[in-house]
Amino acid sequence: MSISQRELDQEVDRLKEIQIRIQTEMGRLEEIVHYRGSEVLDIRRNFWDEVTVNTSDYYDLAETAASITQQQAVLSQEERSHRHALKNLRKLKRLHHNPYFARIDFIEKGEEAEKIYIGLSSLVDEDTHELLIYDWRAPISSLFYDYTPGPAGYQTPVGWIQGEMTLKRQYIIKNGILENMFDTGISIGDTMLQVLLARNTEGKMSHIVTTIQREQNQIIRDDQHEILIVQGAAGSGKTSVALQRVAYLLYKHRNSLTAEQMVLFSPNSLFNDYVSNVLPELGEANMLQTTFQEHLQRSIGKKYKVEDAYEQLEYLLSASEEDPAYLKRVQTIERKTSLLFMEQMDRYIEQLKETGIQFHDFRVRAKVLISKETLTEWFYHQTPADAPLPARMEKMKERALEELETLQERLFKNLFKKMLRNPKYLGTDEEMKAESRKTARKAFGPLRRTAKQLEFLDIIGMYHNFLNESSPIQEGIPYEDATPILYLKAVLIGWPTINQMKQVIVDEAQDYSPFQLRYIRRLFPRARFTLLGDLNQGIHHANVQSYTHLEELFGQTPTALFQMTKSYRSTHEIIEFTKGILQDPEPIETVGRSGDKPKMVAVPSEDLLATEIGKGVHELWQKGSKSIAIICKTESETRVAFETLKNKMDQEIHLITKETFVFKGGLVVIPAYLAKGLEFDSVIIYNVGEKVYHRSTERKLLYTACTRALHHLFLYFTGEPTPLIPSE
């Protein structure tokens, strides 16, 4: 739709006017920040001058205390005002160069037409209290995301507002200059979205608030359901939705929810870095970010090393399918990740109430102080059989600490006696007593800690007993055993209290096993959950297979299942090509952006792969790519590729392994499972030869790798191409 020159001039004028207001307000706030800042410093420096200190009698003491309290109150009031002004100033600085990105004109039934400008945060006219810019998260801003011009409505805390949208306009404002604007007609698609999607990507993920789509907006703003499950095709914006949802919830519940009460489980640390800019760009603090692996290792403790999920995967991808050890491992993994296994554990734990509990001896070097038999005897005879297990363990702790106290007293007496007899020690009896007491206390320190943390419970021993296996875990815990071991521990001694967590977000949820998901649910009993995943991209063995399964896992509470089927990342050609890799795909649609067809390149021999890929990289730079990933199947293939490629490239090339924590753009070589969740202008699959990808379990991995591409996809192969890619 064409926009008249008059309208354009009006918009330019308005933008100028808003910027002047922002500048004026910034100036005012800068003064306040400066003034409050020096006030705070002043109060801190002269704190004691203002306090009347008199401690001669009770009344004076009380007066002194009151005076300190009063002075503290003044200080925190000043600090609060300072923080508030600083926060507002930062907000204005963000708005200054890009105050808003959209406008809608809306006529509420029975009211006058209103122009609503929407930006990253709101701006109020201090004098008239008029809202000059609405925050994108305000209820009314929903209109922009949900409707095209025509009848429209939105939900407010007091009910539904119905009316008519007469205009929907989007702006591209850069460095304070209005570069372009588009009006959306009833039938015209989202021009702005197409412009954004056609761009090249250089680095970390960016926010999408200027072009959130209706299906995404629904998920971002859903506050009704305690459990949200999102199936989203590759590139449909799951991670984006998760992050904008965090920003939305922080805005909506700003008086009761903080960033520390939200946690995001992401696939790996590299990914954490990749997404780390989004919330700060939106003016919000990042929520806690972690990986399940990190949780496992931290909870198991330093004594044992938990195998990495990627090590497990590396093994499964590299071992021969005929190897009996491989087959056994696959079976074991399938068993230990199932809910059936959890039920079997529950039965075993039930039994432990009567028999079979195991402890470690309390010992100092070789000397046993409290034997495991004694501990077992205490458990079954001195703790109430009908009490819950954690309560019984609490009793055990008390009992052990008591016993340690007695033993420590005995040691003290012996030491003291020895000192008295030994002419080497000089000093009064009292001094020697104190010395001996100190030595005894120190000697018992580690044992007391063991008791307090209930480390005398032999969790691993019981786990082995349950499995009916004799070989005890030495220093490494296989990935598939780590969660069951922690589950056993939690049920026996009580779940760690992570109750303050109100929102838990699990990205790549399809890579968790049913056992793990149920475990996570119990870890955060009071939290609301957002689980986002794509069954097409399930790369781990025995992960969740269906959404009914997921719903069952989280059941009971209000649960909603959303589907996002449009893929925003890749061109139409790449999407169609990658669909062919899947056998029974979840639905995927394109948003209509077109590009080159993916290219399969046959290479006569492996020695020539690097040279050919070098040429491909060159071609892709020429086409304007700013980020290129050469994706390999495993870490070992990645290392080989990196070594052979690094001398063939004119540009710098980065190797990415699971030890890489910082996301780098440019040219990278990366294993497929780490490329998960990331995206690049161009993707090169290192070798899609039949010898490399042939098992059906590798289908989803290959799919995941190919769907990382925005604009171009090149696939190289030696020998025959993989049968997983249908020939045209």
In the complex, the smallest distance separating the C-beta of residue 240 from ligand ATP, rounded to whole angstroms, is 3
Among 221, 518, 569, 700, binds ligand ATP (CB under 6 A): 569
Q: Is 482 annotated to bind ligand?
A: no
Question: Measured between alpha carbons, how far is residue 511 from residues 197, 385, 477, 547, 567 in Å?
Answer: 28, 39, 19, 13, 20
In the complex, the smallest distance separating the C-beta of residue 116 from ligand ATP, rounded to whole angstroms, is 20
3-state SS assignment for residue 389: helix
Among 271, 568, 663, 717, binds ligand ATP (CB under 6 A): 568
In the complex, the smallest distance separating the C-beta of residue 407 from ligand ATP, rounded to whole angstroms, is 57
Q: Does 717 bind ligand ATP (CB under 6 A)?
A: no
DSSP secondary structure string for all residues of 435-492 = HHHHHHHHHHHHHHHHHHTTTTB-HHHHHHHHHT--S---SEE-HHHHHHHHHHHHHH
Q: Is 365 left (phi over 0), alpha (psi -120 to 50) or beta?
A: left
Among 86, 161, 172, 196, binds ligand ATP (CB under 6 A): 196
Q: Is 239 annotated to bind ligand?
A: yes
In the complex, the smallest distance separating the C-beta of residue 172 from ligand ATP, rounded to whole angstroms, is 13
Please state the φ and ψ torsions of residue 713, each to the nearest 5 degrees.
-135, 120
Q: Does 543 bind ligand ATP (CB under 6 A)?
A: no
Q: Tell me the angle at which helices 459-467 and 339-352 cross, rounded to the nearest 10 degrees.
A: 110
Kindly write out the interface string for residues 693-712 of this chain, putting x where it contacts ligand ATP by CB under 6 A and - elsewhere: --------------x-----
The nearer residue to ligand ATP, 165 or 212, going by C-beta atoms, is 212
The nearer residue to ligand ATP, 138 or 212, going by C-beta atoms, is 212
Kindly write out the interface string for residues 225-244 of this chain, putting x where it contacts ligand ATP by CB under 6 A and - elsewhere: -------x-xxxxxxx----
In the complex, the smallest distance separating the C-beta of residue 566 from ligand ATP, rounded to whole angstroms, is 8
Check: CB of residue 264 under 8 Å from CB of residue 288.
Answer: yes
Q: Does 153 bind ligand ATP (CB under 6 A)?
A: no
Q: Does 193 bind ligand ATP (CB under 6 A)?
A: yes
Q: Is 232 annotated to bind ligand?
A: yes
Q: Does 484 bind ligand ATP (CB under 6 A)?
A: no
Measured over the CA atoms of residue 554, residue 555, residue 556 and residue 559, the dihedral's sign is positive
Which among 485, 427, 494 is positioned nearest to 454, based on CA atoms?
Answer: 494
User: Residue 295 burial by CB count (10 A; 0-12/13-18/19+): exposed, middle or buried?
Assistant: buried
Q: Is 470 annotated to bind ligand?
A: no
Please give the size of the binding site for ligand ATP, defined by CB under 6 A.
22
Check: CB of residue 581 under 8 Å from CB of residue 248.
Answer: no
Contacts of 568 (CB under 8 A, 6+ apart): 193, 197, 235, 236, 237, 591
Among 122, 141, 211, 638, binds ligand ATP (CB under 6 A): 211
Which among 36, 17, 195, 266 is positioned nearest to 123, based on CA atoms?
Answer: 17
The first and second tokens of residue 642, run together, are: 């990196």
Q: Does 369 bind ligand ATP (CB under 6 A)?
A: no
The nearer residue to ligand ATP, 412 or 529, going by C-beta atoms, is 529
Piece of 77-85, 211-219, 342-350, 521-529 that binds ligand ATP (CB under 6 A): 211-219
Give residues 386-445 in contact with ligand ATP (rule: CB under 6 A).
none
Nearest residue relative to ligand ATP (C-beta): 237
Q: Does 209 bind ligand ATP (CB under 6 A)?
A: no
Q: Which amino acid is at 472?
A: P
Q: Does 538 bind ligand ATP (CB under 6 A)?
A: no
Among 40, 120, 173, 212, binds ligand ATP (CB under 6 A): 212
Q: Does 677 bind ligand ATP (CB under 6 A)?
A: yes
Piece of 167-175, 209-217, 277-285, 663-671 that binds ligand ATP (CB under 6 A): 209-217
Q: Which amino acid is at 437?
A: R
Check: CB of residue 169 under 8 Å from CB of residue 180.
Answer: no
Q: What is the spatial distance between Cα 266 and Cα 505, in angstroms, rounded to a whole number?
A: 9
Which among 149, 116, 140, 142 is positioned nearest to 130, based on CA atoms?
Answer: 116
Q: How far is CA 179 from the centre of its chain?
A: 35
The nearer residue to ligand ATP, 210 or 358, going by C-beta atoms, is 210
Supply the DSSP symbol for 536: G
In the complex, the smallest distance separating the C-beta of residue 587 from ligand ATP, rounded to whole angstroms, is 13
Contacts of 656 (CB under 8 A, 6+ apart): 270, 638, 664, 668, 669, 670, 671, 674
Q: Is 236 annotated to bind ligand?
A: yes
The nearer residue to ligand ATP, 101 or 416, going by C-beta atoms, is 101
Kindly write out the interface string for residues 280-309 of this chain, putting x where it contacts ligand ATP by CB under 6 A and - elsewhere: ------------------------------
Q: What is the spatial distance between Cα 148 and Cα 125, in angstroms, rounded to a whole number?
A: 28
Piece of 107-115, 208-216, 421-429, 636-644 that binds ligand ATP (CB under 6 A): 208-216
Q: Is 611 annotated to bind ligand?
A: no
Q: Is 175 left (phi over 0), alpha (psi -120 to 50) or beta?
A: left
Residues that bind ligand ATP (CB under 6 A): 193, 196, 208, 211-213, 216, 232, 234-240, 534, 537, 568-569, 677, 679, 707
Going by the annotation, the residues of the binding site for ATP are 232-239
Going by the annotation, the residues of the binding site are 232-239
